[in-house]
Amino acid sequence: MITNHDKAHILVEALPFIRKYANKTVVIKYGGAAMVDEKVRDEFMKDVALMKYVGIHPIIIHGGGPEINSMLKRVNKETQFIEGNRVSDAETVEIAEMVLSAKINKSIVADLNKLGAKAVGLSGKDGGMITARKKFIEKAGEKIDIGFVGEIAEVNRELIDILVSQDYIPVISSIGIGSEGETFNINADYVAGEVAAAVGAHRLIFLTDVNGVYKDFEDKDSLIADMTVETAREYIANGIISGGMIPKVNTCLEAIERGVHHVIILNGQIKHSILLELFTEEGCGTMIYHEA
């Protein structure tokens, strides 16, 4: 049984961490089960609202692969992937934009506003925030065209800065705009890393469906609580970090090289994982940082 004194003690223990993060920007890549499971989603929204109330400036970046898959299925359109990238013709990217920038984005905004945290929904098109160029896949020496899938050319932070300065939480979908006004669907992890670098975020948090990075994924006691950029590169070279975790860790390393202080990979399914990571000594996932 937790008494009121226990609760007060917990709040006092969190005080140094609240002071540490006051007026700091924290970019959160929101996705996976944390977005799909209603109970987990509700807790996430409360965590973000609390962050805002104690003086942190959260910025949310989101994708929505499962929702896009569901909508494509409803219109009887097949989904094809090449090396993890959704092949996107004009119709597919139109559906992706509708799902990401309308349905998902506005539902996140509504949930945060309901808790009293002022949120504004955006896509990379708004204010020319995310300029993108066409992405190609190199495979067996061949350059493969995968349609309206983009990689980021530039992030314009002006609109983000205006919203943050006026005490709003920017909620950004992973849609960018090309030089000719084309719509590009962009990997949300990549968008989170680029936005965090552009705004000089103090922390970048990736919410995933695993607890973090493991030395041996089959051994759940081998979770890596923290590692330097140099160690992470060694683990990739040695095959300790492998598979789908490689592009996520590489995105973390790129963000750190461009000025983000620390990047954290967290399990979004764990109740209040963000608060545990930010406001407790032990943390909750894997933190990556420069040794200096």
- Whichever domain contains 60, its CATH number is 3.40.1160.10
CA distance 117 to 109: 9
What does the buried/exposed string (b/e) look like for 121-134 if buried means 16 or more CB atoms within 10 Å of the residue's CB? bbbbbbeebbbbee
Place of tokens 């970046």: 61
**Which ranges in 22-78 belong to alpha helices (H)?**
33-36, 38-53, 65-74
Domain annotation covers residue 85? yes
Domain annotation covers residue 1? no
Domain annotation covers residue 231? yes
Do residues 161 and 199 make contact, with C-beta atoms less than 8 angstroms apart? yes
CA distance 32 to 22: 28
Domain annotation covers residue 56? yes
Domain annotation covers residue 80? yes
Read off the pLDDT band of 182 (50, 70, 90).
very high
Q: What is the pLDDT of residue 285?
A: 87
CA distance 44 to 36: 11
Of 36-45, 72-81, 113-122, 242-251, the range with the lowest mean pLDDT is 242-251
Domain annotation covers residue 82? yes
Domain annotation covers residue 146? no
Domain annotation covers residue 17? no
Q: What is the pLDDT of residue 111?
A: 96
Q: What is the pLDDT of residue 131?
A: 97
Beta strands in the chain, from DSSP E residues, in sequence order: 25-30, 57-62, 81-82, 85-86, 119-123, 130-139, 142-155, 169-173, 175-177, 183-185, 203-208, 226-228, 262-267, 286-289
- Phi and psi, residue 180, nearest 5°: -100, 15
Number of domain units in the chain: 1
Cα 153 versus chain centre, distance: 19
Q: What does the pLDDT average to over 227-252?
A: 88
- Phi and psi, residue 156, nearest 5°: -95, 110
Of 118-127, 201-210, 274-283, the range with the lowest mean pLDDT is 274-283
Q: What is the pLDDT of residue 207?
A: 92
Residue range(s) defining the domain that contains residue 81: 24-125+160-174+186-289
Q: What is the pLDDT of residue 292?
A: 63
188-219 pLDDT per residue, tens: 999 999 999 999 999 999 998 888 888 888 78
Of 119-128, 154-163, 164-173, 217-226, the range with the lowest mean pLDDT is 217-226
Q: How many CB atoms lie within 10 A of CB 166?
A: 9
What percentage of the chain reaches a pLDDT higher than 70?
Answer: 100
Q: What does the pLDDT average to over 184-190?
A: 93
Nearest one of 200, 197, 176, 170 to 188, comparing CA atoms: 176
SS3 74: helix
